[in-house]
Amino acid sequence: MAYNINQNENQNKQAMTAKELIDLLQEQPPEIKVVIRGYEEGYNDIRQLKPLKLRRDINAEWYYGEYFKDDSYHSIDAISLYGENKNQEEI
Q: Quick check: is 91 in a domain?
A: no
Domain that holds residue 51: 18-83
Q: Tell me: the pLDDT tens digits for 36-71?
A: 988 888 999 999 999 999 999 988 888 888 999 999
Q: Quick check: is 2 in a domain?
A: no
Q: Quick check: is 22 in a domain?
A: yes
Q: How far apart are CA 75 and CA 34, in angstroms?
A: 28
Sign, CA dihedral 44-49-50-55, equals positive
Q: Quick check: is 89 in a domain?
A: no
Q: Tell me: the pLDDT tens digits for 71-90?
A: 999 999 999 999 888 886 65
Q: Quick check: is 63 in a domain?
A: yes
Q: Quick check: is 13 in a domain?
A: no
Q: Quick check: is 88 in a domain?
A: no
Task: Provide the pLDDT for residue 32.
Answer: 94
Task: Provide the pLDDT for residue 19.
Answer: 94
Q: Tell me: the pLDDT tens digits for 7-29?
A: 445 555 678 899 999 999 999 99
Look at the chain and report how many structural domains it folds into.
1
